[in-house]
Amino acid sequence: MTNSPFDKKLAELFLDEHKEEFQQELLKQAVNVKDRVKEILQIGNIDLINNAFKLVHFVIWQEEEKLSLFAKKEGIAWATHSLTVDLKLEWVQAIRRTLWINIQRMIEQYNITNYDLFELEKNVNNQVDRFLNEFFINYSTYKDMLLREQRKLVENLSVPIIPINSTVSILPLIGTIDYFRAKVMEEQVLTKISKQHIHTLIIDLSGIGDMKTEVVDQFLKMIEGAKMMGCNVVITGLKPDVVRNIVALGVVFDSQTKTWGTLQQALDMYFQ
């Protein structure tokens, strides 16, 4: 950090040495979030504690590009799993306060006196504010797109394909899929791959409770059709019952079809 009372390596070392104390203080500061850390991890595989340390790292090193990409991934993940922004805001503000508490402790521990407090405050707070701004923009944008597409789905069985950049799109599936919906989905997915020039389609099944064998068979035909059009398919959120039906059909995904446990893991791969 420019004109800070410590260099970046020293700050990273101090926080690493006091990681447990940082976590305890963070949970103390996040009054309404602390009891929902495990719940949020189960809902969307979003590790609030680990992500807090990531954010602090980006703030310390002023890695603005990585911070923006991280905020975008977080915004998409929170919108996808319908997590509320008030929890996120409280959590990030708790991270900010905890970081400042640790900065003060480090200043005292190393007896640092020759620093520009105004410059330090500007550097740290600007980075945290940048993260919040990027998060809210991406959360709102993706949430609005998701709601619009889901509204269309209710109205005319549209397929809610959401572009996240020029070549990668997400197909978040929610509710029950019967054979008729699977047929409509296949037709529209292949059409949209062609029209939107989608190179990679991430199909998130975490919102699907069950898929009967005949639906799984139709779903697999859609994947094969997408691959024939040159589109890479990534599947996330497979449930045990769906996996059993796939295995019962004797299907083994080839190297062109990637699978990840959660949407968050897939987003990590495409926002590096």
Is the confidence at residue 239, as pLDDT, over 60? yes
pLDDT of residue 49: 97
Regarding whether 131 and 248 lie in a shared domain, the answer is no
Domain that holds residue 243: 157-270
Q: What is the CATH number of the domain that holds 90?
A: 1.10.490
**Range with the lowest mean pLDDT among 55-59, 120-124, 152-156, 164-168?**
152-156
The mean pLDDT of 179-194, rounded to a whole number, is: 88
224 within domain boundaries: yes
Regarding whether 162 and 143 lie in a shared domain, the answer is no
pLDDT of residue 153: 62
Regarding whether 172 and 142 lie in a shared domain, the answer is no
More confident of the two residues 213 and 189: 189
**Range with the lowest mean pLDDT among 64-73, 109-118, 179-188, 237-246?**
109-118
> Which of residues 116, 147, 178 is at a domain's end?
147
pLDDT band at 183; cut points 50, 70, 90? confident
Contact 101, 25 (CB under 8 A): yes
More confident of the two residues 149 and 108: 108
Regarding whether 12 and 135 lie in a shared domain, the answer is yes
Query: What total of structural domains would you count in the chain?
Result: 2
Angle at CA 158, nearest 5°, toward 154 and 161?
120
Regarding whether 216 and 125 lie in a shared domain, the answer is no
196 within domain boundaries: yes
What is the bridge-based pairing of β-strands 200-208 and 162-163?
unpaired
pLDDT of residue 77: 93
Query: Phi/psi class of residue 3: alpha, beta or left (left: φ > 0; alpha: ψ in -120 to 50)?
Result: left
The per-residue b/e assignment along 6-23, b for 16 or more CB within 10 angstroms, e otherwise, is beeeebeebbeebeeebe
Residues facing residue 235 across a β-bridge = 203, 259
2 within domain boundaries: no
pLDDT digits (tens, 9 = 90+) for 31-56: 999 999 999 998 888 999 999 999 99
pLDDT of residue 69: 96
Two tokens, residue 71: 């905020």
